[in-house]
Copies of this chain bind each other. A is one copy, B any other.
Amino acid sequence: MSGKPTFLILADGDFSPMTSKTANSVIRYLPDRVVGVVDRVHAGKTVQQVLGFGGDIPVVGSMAEGLRRKPGAVLIGIAPAGGRLPEEWRAWLAEALETGCDLWSGLHTFLSDDALLAEKARAHGRKILDVRRPPPKLPVAMGMARLVDPFVVLTVGTDCNVGKMTAQLQLVRGLENRGLKTRFAATGQTGIFIEGWGTAVDAVVADFIAGAAEELVLKAAPGADIVLVEGQGSINHPGYSGVTLGLLHGSCPDALILCHQATREFIGEYRGEPWLRIPPLADYVKMYEMIGSAVYPTRVIAVCMNTYDLTDAEALEACAAATRDTGLPCTDPVRFDSAPVLDAVSGARQAYLERRSLK
């Protein structure tokens, strides 16, 4: 990453609480660095009006209008339908480069491979950061992450897009406040944008998923008390489970935090693919512990519940139900106090340190 620029976020046509995951997280964690959002649907509103957070950041109706707010970089905040770069976006991004902006992108299609954009960047001395481009030389994992000193915690989920990264970013502050040096190891585009480093493990060649995770943990470990590894996908996601398991085995976590969105009933339903019913949370605990421990002993120590679409009373009941189902502490770390989960992490770390001192 090159420095900490301000961002104009491109989220045209898909800016909403559930769909524009990257845009929303960058706004949530770096609000002071976001100068605006480009989206013709909600132009004229504030981000607060669209998302329920984000304050006065304006939504603007064109790239030109956004560029007048002098961002350091244009950041792609949504995945375009079909995964390809829309022709209209190319023109807008070229315009941004001409105006002196860098481009930050986490798309599978690399902007720097686009001849027009590459040429514009060269001509205007700007940078294109494709954070999904894998590092040049990754290892095949060999369980090296099991040997690091810090207590390693991975978030695991019941589906994609349930709040695995958000849960952890909420926990970082709480753990730091307790005097624990905590390092966040980003494994997806949004986490990388926010943290400034990391590897998009879903974009590496399949043989190197675990190796990418191993490398991240080894890099994050020195000097840290706790490493929080950003989880991806779900162990029973028909499309992405391979990434989930590679990450689980490559990072050798000492503990897992299970993340769920309370009202989600089917895998993938947030993008209209209802077919596979999400089993009880206790089943996930069993699956993740069994399959994770097949490489390195691990257990689920807490549940983080995403309750964004519930009332306070419903949210409290969802957390209580998770605790009844699993016997584990549960909270929504965005909505409520994170203490129950922070207690679980620091307690499990204490036990880990005691086990190690006996060796």
Contact = CB atoms under 8 A, between A and B. Distances in A.
Contacts of A203: 205-207
Interface string A208-219: 011100000000
Interface in A221-257: 235-247, 249-250
A33 to B, nearest CB: 28
B207 A241 contact: no
A314 to B, nearest CB: 27
A279 interface: yes
In the assembly, how many copies of this chain are there? 2
Interface string A46-73: 0000000000000000000000000000
Given A140-B239, A140-B240, A294 B279 contact: yes
Interface of A: 108, 140-143, 201-207, 209-211, 235-247, 249-250, 268, 273, 275-276, 279, 283, 286-287, 290-291, 294-295
21 contacts: A108-B207, A140-B239, A141-B238, A141-B239, A142-B275, A143-B276, A202-B206, A206-B206, A207-B239, A209-B243, A210-B239, A210-B242, A236-B294, A239-B249, A241-B245, A241-B295, A242-B242, A242-B247, A245-B245, A287-B291, A290-B290
